Structure 1
């Protein structure tokens, strides 16, 4: 892995981790803004706990060494949750400002996944 790729990986991974951790905590403590947003999108409030827990666990999975298959699942989960957020905002007709956070986290997820080191990658056996 080149030095440039390592730098890209760690910058994307740190920002992704910070974003997922902060939003996960906000969801776990059920801040008023998050509760209002979930109700606006038509989801039950208890989904905040589920998503918050999985975001925190996903961050742990991505940051700890080894367990490449668990990392793949965490990246997939981040992608599904954030793309679901984008489509949920589209479905209710929200403006572009509501898409920025989820789209940024999707970009960071893809960058972190793409530039991850070989030791954090699932080896494909032929």
Structure 2
């Protein structure tokens, strides 16, 4: 892995971890803004707790060494959660500003996944 790719990986991964951790904390605290947003999108409030816990577990999986298959699942979970958020905002006819956070986290997920070091990839047969 080149030095350039390592830098891209770690910058994207750390920003992804920061973004996912920050949003998970907001979801776990269930602030009024967050519960209003979930209601607006048509989702039950208890989903905030599930998303918050899953995001923290996903961040842990992506950052810790080893466990490459677990990392794949974490990246997949981030991809599904963020693409689902984008589709949900689209379906609710939300403004462009509502797409920014999920779109940025989706892009960071893809970049981090693509540039991950070989030892963080599952073994293929």
Per-residue deviation, 1:123: 1.5
**Cα RMSD for the two superposed structures:** 0.4
Matches within 5 A, 1:1-126: 1-125=1-125
Per-residue deviation, 1:32: 1.0
Counterpart Cα distance in 2 of 1:34 and 1:79: 20
Counterpart Cα distance in 1 of 2:124 and 2:57: 25
Counterpart Cα distance in 1 of 2:29 and 2:100: 22
Scaled by the length of structure 1, what TM-score is found? 0.98
Per-residue deviation, 1:31: 1.1
Per-residue deviation, 1:5: 0.2
Counterpart Cα distance in 1 of 2:14 and 2:32: 27
Counterpart Cα distance in 2 of 1:70 and 1:93: 35
Name the SS for the 1:99 alignment partner. helix
Q: Which runs of 5+ in 2 are unaligned?
A: none
Q: Which runs of 5+ in 1 are unaligned?
A: none
Counterpart Cα distance in 2 of 1:6 and 1:123: 20
Name the SS for the 2:83 alignment partner. helix
Per-residue deviation, 1:81: 0.2
State how many pairs are aligned. 125
